[in-house]
Amino acid sequence: MLQFIGGSTDLIDTDEASLVATHGLDALTLLSTVVYAVLGVLLLMLFSWVVNKVFKLDLRRELLEDQNPGLGVAFAGTAIAIAIIVAATISG
């Protein structure tokens, strides 16, 4: 229970049954979220590997040593696109 100047209000209900009923938070939801997060990271790693092979680039060298801003922006844009795709998959 959180106390405010105007009185007390229950903002956080820690009862598991009410969390499931209100927010849909159960073990299956949590597990699927973790699976999709891992899937997103794996897709990003796969993308990095494919870019290195197809374009004959060393992303690490280009980004860290040569500080290539164009490649950094392109890589960041693709990372955001992968995140949007994974988020859309999670939300249905």
Report the distance separating Cα 58 and Cα 18, nearest Å.
Answer: 51
Where is pLDDT greater, at 90 or 49?
49
Q: Would you say residue 8 lies in a domain?
A: no
Q: Is 9:2 a contact under the CB 8 Å cutoff?
A: yes
Q: Give the C-alpha separation, 64 to 27, whole Å.
A: 40
Percent of the chain topping pLDDT 70 = 73
| Average pLDDT of the chain, as a whole number | 77
Residue 68 is part of which domain span? 56-91
Poorest-pLDDT segment among 10-14, 58-62, 78-82: 10-14
In a domain, 19, yes or no: no
Please, are residues 85 and 42 in contact by the beta-carbon 8 Å criterion? no
Number of domains in the chain: 1
Q: Look-up: residue for tokens 């801003």?
A: 69
For the stretch 14-58, pLDDT in tens is 555 565 566 667 888 888 888 888 888 888 889 888 888 888 888
